[in-house]
Structure formats: structure tokens, C-alpha cells
Structure 1
Amino acid sequence: MKKSLISLVIALSVCACSTSQPSGETGSDSAPAYQNNDLDMPTRVRDLVSRMTLNEKVGQMYNDAPAIERLGIPSYDYWNEALHGVARAGHATVFPQAIGMAAMWNRELLFDVASTISDEGRAKHHYFASHDARYRYTGLTYWSPNINIFRDPRWGRGQETYGEDPYLTGELAVQFIHGLQGDDEHYLKSAATAKHFAVHNGPEISRHSDNYVVSPKDLYETYLPAFEKAIVEGDVEAVMCAYNRVNGSPACGSEMLLKEILRGEYQFDGHVMSDCGAIADFFDTEAHNVVRSPAVAAAWAVTAGTDLNCGTGRRSVFANLVWAVQKGLLSEELIDQAVERLFMTRFKLGLFDAPDRVPYSKIPLDSVSSDAHLKLAQTATEQSLVLLKNDGILPLKTGVKVAVIGPNATNQDVLLGNYNGLPTQPVTPLQGIIKQVGADNVTYAPGSPIIADVYGHWQVLDRSVLFHEDTSGNLQPGLNADYYAVERLPVSDFTNLRGSANWAQTPSASRVETSMSFYFERSPVNDEVLGNFGAVWSGLLIPKTSGSYRFNTQGELYLDGERVTAAVPLQAGVQYEIRVQQLFINDLMENTAAMTDQFWALEWVNESRDLLAEALTAAQYADVIVVAAGISPRIEGEEMPVKLEGFNYGDRADIDLPDVQQQLIQALHKTGKPMVLVNFSGSAMALNWENENVDAIVQAFYPGEATGTALARILWGEANPSGRLPVTFYRNLEGFAPFDDYNMENRTYKYFDGEVLYPFGHGLSYSDFRYEALKAPSTLERGQDLTLTVTLSNLSDIAGEQVTQVYVQMPDAPVRVPNTELKGFTRSALNGGESQEVSINIPANELVYIDEKGKKQPYTGALKISIGDGQPGYAGQGKIQTSVVTIQ
């Protein structure tokens, strides 16, 4: 509805819609208080909510809140994602996955990244809103960051976190939140959300039914500190509660978590939303099954403090709140409280004020994926790459001939991770290396699948194999593309709520498409932003090589009139009639547009190739082999339908490289060629054989759209590696408790007693950094900050950046405490031969231990201090300085 019409509706209806004089109303002839920009926001919010009926208020407690036109309230969907770039809303700058951004160990850079993300989010939101596109992923309430602790390397969603350490996670969370939310005195640039509160980090397969039992000590020592920082220091606007139960109570109904801790101890005043479908888990007989009806589940959640129900696509439980109020299960005042919290966020975002009052509304759309943003992404990627091992082969020499081998060499999935946007300039490892040294100096082979029939070297079908006949009957490259107007039909099949449509008899637009990969921001039928349409691509497929081909597409694929659903044999030079059709219709149940979160593509892979033989041939022509190996977000992630050897529905069952890749690497090793392994994964890998036999290893995580460029610069020394591990890389899972055991004993670097492959905080450089002359007080009064100063020198002639880390040990604590614990870090840039003093302050509130009741206690006694290149016991000679401070 146009703004002028909305104003007219408000003027005509505002008095009639209220059953009592609303707070803040100054008279029947004046504008309602909620429209008065000069009033404070709480007053405006209370006035607006007071004008709503109970049904209207309950409707505003869904993630896809409907419009209330008589009050001038547009529809709004709270669900949006910004984990490492604006996600699922079309093109955006894609930064390294969260675990990779943690590997930067750089507060300032992470703030800049988050600020850039919110710039792009603002620009995209205003663009979509100007076209009245109010679907999921178009709003300004971002459900990021994920600050759960990556306590177990098997967790598939650990890639979304900042690693295993509560201190590092909390410090980074604060910067990310500040970057997303902006620094305006009156308005939020966007609203950040800390998730998942709390005690949530796998297993994925059973998270809807699991009850995780934690001691008060583990709760406050491991699972809550990052949330406390996010709320108290970060002033995060929203919190998402988790699926699981905690000590018997569903997290979204836990009064201990939501009332006593979140609202009580942390004084949180924002809104709380459920994870999507979590309230339905209360009564689902295959989930928690702790109540019998949706109304009781809804009343429980709201009473405990959950304000927003995400999950209209999976039982919109809060739809039962009107009945729950009628039956006395909760009061309408609790509904008012929840709705006021939700509208406070929308008012802070400026969604009810004129754009010229909101400074962030002026961010232009062309800021999305701008040159400056892409340059920042490259910087972030370079700082996220962790050099795990280097026998001296790196940096590579100019003129070297390289064989780039491995299933992730051309795999765009590993650039992106999960919860990602669509990159505008993605650079794969192969592309980056070719650009660095020239195509004449590079040979390539995929070498193997990632695992089983999961491939990383899918190829988009294009003009080289796709043809159509012109009016003279001659073959021309590309397929005929016909785009049809469609008319949505009423739902008649209630087992398929997404809906169906009638197609127009003739296409509205036709053209030739020469590459079968698209992103449709606008309908090709009528140019409507995120509009509906049907598409048919037809012509001839003429393979160049015979083989058994597997296809990958979201559409319906037909060859010679037969539907293709499995691998098919194809002969080189033979013409096959090909037809692909796809209905792009927006999902009203999920409130999602058909084309916001992914590219549409038609890809294939020839499963008949002898990939290992091809790899050995490629290696013959090279001086050095770069292996792009690892796993993929296609097999590790959130509650995935993946059950393979070593993988369990998104989680890991072991942490080794898949066997087929181990065989590839060992076969390449036998060639005697020097080898660099680049491992892509969102989680720790047991690279034991590789550590013993490969010359250099780079841990890449999922590094963003600038991957290939940044990687090549690191390999050839144009950039100096400076990333550090935010998780421990273990040798195996021996001694680990069951995955669903949330006791922290023998987990993470803080409590693990075994031998590790690469410790938390590890990372190598091409520079030779040394530490000396630590200045620390011999004694410290309890309650005082601790300031440490050390001299850092770069003894090499190579400029680089160094992450200085501070760890403490508390041997005189009267309870079990961590073996060692990170309490400070900073980055320093030094030229070759340069020295500088590095000073790190540890606040007094970090010099505490957690007692058995979960309470913080000031530590007294001998405090062992280590400052330098990593953990005590792992950092080499000259790489660390130690001292003992007596706290009195």
C-alpha cells in the first residue's frame, strides 16, 4: 500500500480501532502518538500496541508478521541471515565462514566486516521494500552471530561459530554485533541476534529431543560467557533460544535460562525468538513431548520469555495463543509485553519513521559487492588462512610449474560454507593459481570425489555441449529458453502446501541461453522483483566424451523424453533432445521467494573417468603439487540428510579425510614431487599421515569468494600467513565422551589431556617473530587489572602480522579449573628487522574462576602467565615469555 493511502487509512480508522483511550494520545483530532517522531520510542510502541486487538497482537508474534493496514503496519518477516555476509537474499559480498573469521583473531577487521555486511543489508532491504517485496531474507533482523561453543569436532554446525574458546568467541561476538548494529544514537543499522541460547552444539540428528544435563560450573565456565559478553558489552538486540532441553526444560521454555539468567543476571531488554520449529518440539511425540497440546506449548514459551515464534512452516504454534489467553493459560499482559519488545526493535530500525530521519536508509544499492567490499573480503580471507606446516617449500618460487589436484580445486561450495549469500566474483583455487602463474604453468585434475558420489568438480552445461536449431535447421550454441506467466492455484493438495500454478499457453519472453546457471532477481516475464514465472529450456545435448553422467539441477530434466533421476550413459557426438522445466513460484507458507537464496543451475559430472589416473598424469608435468582436498558444506552442516561413512546427518562420525582422498594424496606422494595440501573444512581434521609426509599444509576452512586470489597470494608469498586456529586439531577421537555428553571433561584445549596434532592458537608465518623482555608485576591486588608488556621482534626480512596470545593458569584455585585459558590477544604488523612493545591489559573481571555453584570468584594465589606465539607447552623457544604474578 502506498504511503499516502496508508496515512489516509490511519486517519480514518485510528479512533474506531481502539476500545479505550491509548497511552500517549492527545486528542481525537491529533495524530496518534506512535506516529509522533518527537516522542520517545517506548511511548510510541506502547501506544501502537494498545491499538491492536488480541488477534492482531498474536499475529505479530510470528516470524512472518502480517500487515495491519488500518494501523499502517506493513508485513514484516524477522527471519534474515548474515553469518558471513548477507545470506539468502541474492548477490552479496561473501566473507570467510564464521570459523574462518575467527581464525583471523582480529577484532578490528571483524568489526569492519560486520559493518560492511550491515551496509549491504540496509541497501538490499530498502531496495526490496521499495518494490513491496517483504519475503523472508529481506528484513533487517539478522539471526547472527552463532556464538555456541565448538566443544566437539564432530559437530557439523561448528563452522558457523567462532571456535571452541569462550573468551575468543565473546570478544569476536561483541565486535560483530557492534558492526551489524551501528553506532547511531537513535537507530540500529540492523538488529543482531545471539544464538542459540543455550547449551547447544550437537548432535544434529537428535537436537529436537535431546536433554543436555550440565553442571552449574560447566554452564557458567563454558556455555554462557560468550552470551554474557554479547548482551552486556555488545548490547545485542535479540537472542534466539535453542531446540534442545537443558537440565530437563526446553530451552525456549526454560525460566532458568530466559528469566533468571538472560533477563535477570544479564538485564537483557531485547526480544527472544525461538529456533525455527522449537516450540512445536514441546508437544511433538517424536521430539521433547513434554506437553500434549500446542496451546500449552505456546503459553509455556511466552510465559518463560520467548516473544517470537519462528516456524510458521512447521506448525505455527503461537496461533494457539488467543485460545490460551481465553482459557487462562497466560494473561494478555504477557502478550503485550512480547509484542512491545518486538516493535521496539522495529522502531529502533527506523521502520516507522520517514527515511530522511534514518541515516542508514541512504546507503546505495551499488555498495553491494563494491570494489571496496570485495577488497575487504580478500583481506579477511588472507588473514583467515592458517599455515599448519611448512618444511620450507613455501612460499613457492616464481616460474614453478604447478599441478592443481583435488576435488575442491574447482568446488565453489567450499568457498561459501553455509548460511551464505551469492558471490559476484567467486574465485576457486584453480582460478586463483592460474591467474597467479598463467595457464601454461598449470595442470589440473579433480583426482577423486569428495566422498562416495559427492563430487566437487560439477560442471555447468554450456554452449560447448548445448545446441538448438535456428530457423534454417542449422545447429547454434545454447538452448532455447521460454519464460511463461503463471497463475497460482488455490491449495487443493494439502500434502503439498507450497502450491501449484497454471502456466500461460504461450511464453511471454524467449531467448537463447548459452550457460545454464542463473540468478533471477526479477521475473523475465514482467520484470517484477522476485516475481513468479515458469521456465522451459530445450534443445540438444551433444556430449564430447562418452560416459555415465550424473546431473544436478533443481528443475525437471528430460533426455529424449525420459525423466532423468539417476546417472545415465551418454555417447560422444550423439544428439540427445534435452528439456528442463522449472516453476518459480513463491512459497506462501514459508514466505520465501522462489529465487532469493541460490543460483539455479544445470550441472553434470562424468562418473566414468579414472580420476586417480588423470591426477597422476597431471602431476608428471609439474614441479610441485597443490592438493585442494577436505570436505564440503554439502556433507557437514545443519541437520542434513547425509548418511555416509564418517558423516552422520550433518555431523562427523570420525575426523579423518575421506578414504578416497587419503588414497589420492598417498598416490601423489609416491611421485616424489613436493606437495602442498590445502584443506577445506569447517571443522578440525585428523591430518596425521599428511603431517608426516606432506611438505606444507594450509587450513582454509571455507574462505569466502576471494579464496583463489588470497590462496595464491599466500602460496607465492605476496601475502604472509597470519591466521591462527580457533579450534584444536586432534589426532583422533580416542578418549572422547559420547557426542551428546555435555560434561566438559577432556574437551577443548582447556580440558583435554591427550596429545594433539595442532593446538588451539597454532599458526605459522614466513616471518621469524620472537618475544623478549616481558614486563609483569610480581604482585597484584585482587580486583585490579593486569597489564603486560613484551617486546616483539621480527628477526626476518619479511614483513608480517603476528597474533600475540596471553594464557593464564590458576594452580591455587580450590576447584577444578582449565589447564590453561586464553585471556588476551592482539595483532601487530612489523616490517622485517622491526621491534615494538606490545601491551595487553587483562581486566580484573577476567581474573576469576568459576566455583561449583557457577559463581565467579576472584582468584588469589600464584597466577602463571604466558604471552607469545601460542599456548604454553606448544610455542617454541623464543616464541613465548612466562611469569608468575601473585594475586593477593
Structure 2
Amino acid sequence: MNILSIKNLILILLIISPFLVKAQEVDFSFQNKELPIDVRAKILVSQMTLDEKISQMVHASAAIPRLKVADYNWWSEALHGVARNGKATIFPQGIGLGATFDPELIKEVASAISDEARAKYSISQAMGNHSKFAGLTFWSPTVNLYRDPRYGRGQESYSEDPFLMSKIGVAFVKGLQGDDPNYLKTAACAKHFVMHSGPEHGKLEFNVEVSKQDLNETYFPAFKALVEDAKVEGVMTAYNMVFGKPSCTSEFLVKETLRENWNFDGYVTSDCGAISGAAGKQGYAKTALDASALALTAGINLNCGGTYKNLKKALEKGLITEELINKRVIQLFKTRFRLGMFDKQEDVPFSKIGPEVIHSEKHIALSRVAAQKSIVLLKNKNNVLPLSPEIKIPYVTGPFANSNDMLMGSYYGVSTGMVTIVEGITDAVSLGTSLNYRSGALPFQLNPNPKNWAPNVAAESDVTICVVGTTADLEGEGVDAIASAHGGDKPNLKLPENQIKYIHQIIEKKKDKPLILVIASGGPVSLEGIEEHCDAILQIWYPGEQGGNAVADVLFGKVSPSGKLPITFPKNVDQLPSYDAYSMKGRTYKYMTKDPMFPFGYGLTYSKTEFSNLVLNSTKLKKKETLEVTVDVENVGNFDIEEVVQLYICPENVSGGIPLKSMKGFSRASLKKGEKKSVSFSINPEDLKVVNEEGERVWRKGNYKIVVGNASPGDLSVKLGASVPQTAIIQLK
């Protein structure tokens, strides 16, 4: 190169250098917390290259150092405690939280979880841990309807009833996200939108077709409530196909329903691997590239997986536009701005939550209370419970009497404070008590040793407490249920055969001594051939780290059981429709005509409740009128209790596919022995409407029975020990 060429090159560089500097300048005004979040997100995303934007659309989002964007993994779990991320308080599994019928308690539980999450996040950030499960975007709660008790992941859900599901779910989301007007404590995510409740083994392939009536009466309400009432920040689509399209590519679900009809202003993520599945087992899209374009067009902001790396090629082929990519990425950053990730930490109130909250004494105590309130007393023959702490020779046995796994359920954290049933009982009884323990049976296998002395101990004891059931090894997500031959689902509702055999051995040996059966499971267990031989039965679900203490508290009368069944317990699977049928006909207490083993809403206390003086504001209501209901509730027994008062509406003329009965209100009442209280309900006109066969909420004229009691309406509830309910007739005009 000659001197003239060098001079020319220098001259050119001098001319263009101001423009080069300008091109490298970054507009950091997106860090100004006084600007609206959508403006901040647009400013930030507008400065990203195409490759940078696409790198933000997978769950393991890359760092962009020049824009001071840190790498972030969106995948975290908090179903009943911070999960898969080290030490944290473990609360009862989702179905147990539903059994409390206590939204205020559930909000407190979720707030404790999010406190621990914030503290753990700050510590993780300080040590440079940006890994999966260490973030603030929690893919919880699960609000898929527990439509069939064979579903292994039903334990993650709160109920078979959309009304109860909505109330508990909204409370959980509000607890996770906090109540600060400017920042989210954590970001909750409602999953799996919308029909995803088995079969677990076929979830990557099957297609769900339901009526408009079932969709709007049963499957939509909880998700709609979380979006509109709780302002949930995230929604995860399901694996399965809906109306012939993979959920993650459904414009009907994401674009029309979530965004347009419900005005959702959060991010939508696919389930993990679901977008690639649309071109895989589902065979809906020709290639993964096509699946990416379809998901982006439908409204999926985030790909759990790596399929969205095809978006650049999809853009080049004209399947999508960069404007659409911008729109989806801006929504993701709105969530990160709401979490305070681009603000000074001193300006984010939740960043001040310190490590002292993690597994704190306060949270441990809260876990114990939640477990206490989740326990359902199904039977108490001759008031054998509560037991005296001074009992001389109690016998604790069963495969889960000394099990930590039984306490945790699925999607769990880890804790240093796990209390098994044996430990809880040991701490509850007198030091002079001759407590005996033997497991007696393995959880899921036949005992290889036929000489088993354990059943004989029952004859030598004052009472036998036998702890049986399942764990997430047997029922749960297919990839985790290592002991299941059915992808985590249950072929029937029976206990494992070796457990049934062991219970019958105890029955044979115990003579006239009482048998207390304690059942740990994520859903209904059939007790045919067993129930009649038991003096008392406790359903404890997967009760969390304080399960042992909570069970002991109930067994020995420190507290009265107050949980209610959030799902119907059938006698057996013969009472159920086909597992893969998503029609609600014959399902749940709302549509079931057969008498189950235990009805929805049922659960005994150690006292007796009487209902009286049911008063309505009117027996004839017009379209815009609210129904006001009051009833007196009295504890006429000898034990302080908490009672769950439940209000149901039953149409006298059942036609057009509407439910036989529907819960419209519930309230926990604390009642000391001899105390009477008045409980009130206010049912707004919208909740008095029914969903017709076209999926529309309509005011259906006619007579309806109002039933207020402590279990779902029916002769079986009263026969089993529930109180006689109060009833009245109203006419919708």
C-alpha cells in the first residue's frame, strides 16, 4: 500500500468515525424506572440484533453484555415450596392445599414460598448461579381440573371443582406475586392451558375434543380467574392437541382466548419440548421450523426447549416477520422489568428479603398448620379418635410410617426438617408410653420374607396406626414415576397388593383392638374390603415436611381435623367413565349419579355441627340481583373445631347438560364448643347463570334449591356423618 492510499484510508476513517461511534452507542434509557414498562421494553429490544432477540426466546436465555442483559433461565418450580433448588420449606402438595378450603391460608403459604424464592435468588445471583430452578419465574400453579382420579399428576391440582380451583389458585398466585404496585415478588404461571389431565402416557400425542359447554363450564374457569382476578404473569400451554391442533400452535387458545377475550398481558411459554413435538409425535407441522413459525404466530413468547432457534430460517422463508418477533420478545422483557431485573436493587423492595426467611421457624410452623388443615377425617367409629397421649401401647406400622418420600409428593424441594409419622407420634405421646414401630411391608413389592411378625404386634397393642398409600414414585409425571408401569397414571384406585395383604393380616391379628388407617396419596384410594374393618381413617395426601407432626396433632387431639375432600372418592374405577374421555358426563360430584365411597366436600371433625336459620334476601331473583344468604352454624359437641361451611345450588329441572349441583361459596368458621356463629354468602348474578350447550353464560329461569351444610348435598353425606344441611328454594325470573 503506498503513502497516498494510506492517507486516503485515514481520511475515510476520519469521515465515518463519528457514525461508527454513534452506531456503538447504547440508549440506556430503558434503565429509567420512571418510564412505563412497555416503553422500557421497546427501547431495549429495539437495540438488539435479530440473533440476540431470538436468543431471548428460549428458556435458557443468553446474555447480551453490550446491553447489560444478563443470561437468565426462565424454568423454575414452586408448586408447594421452592422446588429443585436446594434448601426450602416443603408445604403440603397441591391437592392437600385444596383440601384446606382456605384461600387466606394458601395466600400466606404462597407468600412464604415467594419470600424464600427472593432470598434464594439474591444469594444465587451473588454467587453467579444463573442456572435452571434458580430464577424468579415459577411455572406454578397447576390449575388443570382433577377430572379423573386415575391421573397421576392430579396431586398437583387443587380440586375437581372449577370454583374451588379458582379460589385456591387465585390466592396462590397473589401470594407468589405480592401486592407491590410496581414490582412482582415472583412471577407465577398458570399451567397447563387448557385441557391436560391424562392419560399421562399419551400426553405428547392425544387430541382433546370437548363441547363448548364443558369448555366454558369446567375447563376455562380457573385459568380465566387467574388471568382476570389474580393477574397471573405467565401461562404455559399443554402438550396435547386441542380441537386438532397442538396447544402451543392454537390461535384459538392463545391469541383469541387469552389475549383478546381475557386481555392477558403476560408471557406465554410452551411446555418443555412441546413445540418440537408438534412436528414430532403429533405430526401436525411438517418440520420443527414450521412448528416454530406456527407457535410464534399463535402467540408463544417463550420456547421451553431449543426449537425457536429455527426462527431465523423461518423469517428468511417468509413464514414470520421480524415485527412479530419484536412483539413476542418485548412481552418477555416486560416480565423481567416487572421483576426489577434492570433496576437498582435498593429500589426493588423484595430484594431486601434476607436469607433468614429460608426454612425459618415461622415458615416451618406455617407448613405444620397447612398440613393440619389439609387432613381429612373420613371415618371415626365410636369416636375412637382422638387418642390420649397417655395411651400405654400404641403400634405404628406400615410402609410409609417412617418415610420422607411420602411427605414430599412431586415437584418438591429439600429440607433438613422432615418429620415422619413415627417421629411425630413419638414426640406427641407420653415418655411412659411403650411405642412400637415396624414397617411391616414394602411400599410397592411383595415382601420376600413370608415370616412376618409385624401383624402379630397389633394383638399386643392398645391401638394400631397403619400408614399406607403411594408416593410420587408410583403416581406422578411419567418421567419421575419410576415404580409405575402406566406412565405415572394408576390403572385402578387400589392400594398396591402387598399393602392390601398387610392390612388384612393386621385385621386378622388385631382381635378387638382398634385400627387407625392413615392414607398418604395424591388422590382417591379405593377402600373396598378394607373400610368396614377400620375404626378410623385419615386421608393425609402428601403433607409436606411437617406431616408427621400434623398427623400426630390430629391423632392425639391437639387440633380437630378440618380438611374436606376436594375430589370425589369413588368406590372403584367401574364408577368412572373412560379415562381418555374429556366429556364431563358422569364425572365429579357435579355430574355423577352413582353413590361414591366418600363425596366431595366431606370430612368429619371431632365435634358435631348443626345448621339452622337459613335466610335469603329474596326467594325470587331477577337478572341483575345478588343472592344474599345467611345461616347459623353451631358447635354442639365437646371439641373446639374449624368447620367449612359450603353453599351449593341445585336446579330442580336438570336439562341441557347443566350440573346436578354446583358449589357457589364456602367459608371456614372457627367454633369453640357450644359456640354459634352466623355465616354469610353473597352470590353475584353472574355466578347464578348457567353455561348452555353453546358455551354461553345465560340466566336460566326456574326453581333452584339452595343447600348449605358441611359436605356436598346428598343422603350419603349425612349417612356418613355430615350434618343435616339447611335448604331453601329460589326462583330465577
Give the alignment partner of residue 726 of structure 1, picking from 566, 579, 590: 566
CA deviations 1:774-811 (Å, max 9, x no partner) are: 00121112122211000000111211100000111123
Aligned to 1:299: 293
Aligned to 2:613: 773
* Contact persistence 1:765–1:800 (CA under 8 A): yes
Higher normalized strand content (fraction of residues):
1
* Contact persistence 2:208–2:241 (CA under 8 A): yes
Aligned to 2:629: 788
CA deviations 1:497-523 (Å, max 9, x no partner) are: xxxxxxxxxxxxxxxxxxxxxxxxxxx
* Contact persistence 1:805–1:822 (CA under 8 A): yes
SS in 1 for 2:116: helix
SS in 1 for 2:529: helix
Aligned in 2, Cα 1:757/1:126: closer, same or farther, shift over 3 Å? same
Find out whether 1:858 has 2:699 as its counterpart.
Answer: yes
Distance 2:179 2:547 in 1: 31
Aligned to 2:7: none
Give the superposition deviation at 1:31: 5.5
CA deviations 1:585-625 (Å, max 9, x no partner) are: xxxxxxxxxxxxxxxxxxxxxx7655x72312432431100
Q: Matched residue pairs, number?
A: 707
* Contact persistence 1:14–1:32 (CA under 8 A): no
Distance 1:185 1:853 in 2: 39
Give the alignment partner of residue 164 of structure 2, picking from 146, 159, 168: 168
* Contact persistence 2:473–2:482 (CA under 8 A): no
Aligned to 2:12: none
Find out whether 1:143 has 2:143 as its counterpart.
Answer: no
Give the superposition deviation at 1:642: 5.5
Find out whether 1:746 has 2:586 as its counterpart.
Answer: yes
Distance 1:737 1:829 in 2: 38
Greater shift after overlay, 722-731 or 866-875? 866-875
Give the superposition deviation at 1:875: 3.8
Distance 2:456 2:22 in 1: 79
* Contact persistence 1:812–1:860 (CA under 8 A): no
Q: Which runs of 5+ in 2 are unaligned?
A: 1-16
Give the superposition deviation at 1:872: 1.4
Aligned to 2:10: none
Find out whether 1:658 has 2:496 as its counterpart.
Answer: yes
Within a 5 Å distance, the mapping from 1:101-500 to structure 2 comes to 101-284=97-280, 287-311=281-305, 316-391=306-381, 392-400=383-391, 401-437=393-429, 440-452=433-445
CA deviations 1:729-776 (Å, max 9, x no partner) are: 000111433211111111111111212000010000001111000001
Aligned in 2, Cα 1:351/1:92: closer, same or farther, shift over 3 Å? same
RMSD over equivalenced CA pairs, Å? 1.8
Amino acid in the other structure paired with 2:550: A
Aligned in 2, Cα 1:438/1:262: closer, same or farther, shift over 3 Å? same
Amino acid in the other structure paired with 2:104: E
CA deviations 1:558-580 (Å, max 9, x no partner) are: xxxxxxxxxxxxxxxxxxxxxxx
**Percent identity for Structure 1 against Structure 2:** 40
Give the superposition deviation at 1:886: 1.0
* Contact persistence 1:864–1:883 (CA under 8 A): yes
Aligned in 2, Cα 1:15/1:637: closer, same or farther, shift over 3 Å? farther
Find out whether 1:799 has 2:640 as its counterpart.
Answer: yes
Aligned to 2:14: none
Distance 1:853 1:41 in 2: 39
Give the superposition deviation at 1:330: 0.5
* Contact persistence 1:66–1:74 (CA under 8 A): yes
Aligned to 2:476: 637
Aligned in 2, Cα 1:16/1:184: closer, same or farther, shift over 3 Å? farther
* Contact persistence 1:443–1:621 (CA under 8 A): no
Aligned to 2:712: 871
* Contact persistence 2:608–2:723 (CA under 8 A): no
Distance 2:361 2:700 in 1: 49
Distance 2:397 2:549 in 1: 17
Distance 2:18 2:80 in 1: 42
* Contact persistence 1:163–1:726 (CA under 8 A): yes
Distance 2:598 2:578 in 1: 22
Amino acid in the other structure paired with 2:732: I
Give the alignment partner of residue 667 of structure 1, picking from 481, 505, 510: 505
Distance 2:643 2:480 in 1: 41
CA deviations 1:807-827 (Å, max 9, x no partner) are: 111234662211111110000
* Contact persistence 1:444–1:618 (CA under 8 A): no
Aligned to 2:13: none
- When normalised by structure 2's length, the TM-score is 0.94
Aligned in 2, Cα 1:325/1:836: closer, same or farther, shift over 3 Å? same
Runs of 4 or more above 4 Å deviation = 13-20, 607-610, 641-644
Find out whether 1:809 has 2:647 as its counterpart.
Answer: no
Distance 2:38 2:492 in 1: 52
Distance 1:35 1:755 in 2: 61
* Contact persistence 2:378–2:603 (CA under 8 A): yes
Distance 1:665 1:185 in 2: 55
- When normalised by structure 1's length, the TM-score is 0.78
* Contact persistence 2:689–2:698 (CA under 8 A): yes
* Contact persistence 2:169–2:226 (CA under 8 A): yes
* Contact persistence 1:18–1:50 (CA under 8 A): no
Give the superposition deviation at 1:32: 2.3
Aligned to 1:761: 601
Distance 1:236 1:16 in 2: 43
Distance 1:81 1:235 in 2: 19
Amino acid in the other structure paired with 2:458: A
Aligned to 1:848: 689
Aligned in 2, Cα 1:15/1:433: closer, same or farther, shift over 3 Å? farther
Give the superposition deviation at 1:265: 1.2
Find out whether 1:36 has 2:45 as its counterpart.
Answer: no
Aligned in 2, Cα 1:16/1:762: closer, same or farther, shift over 3 Å? farther
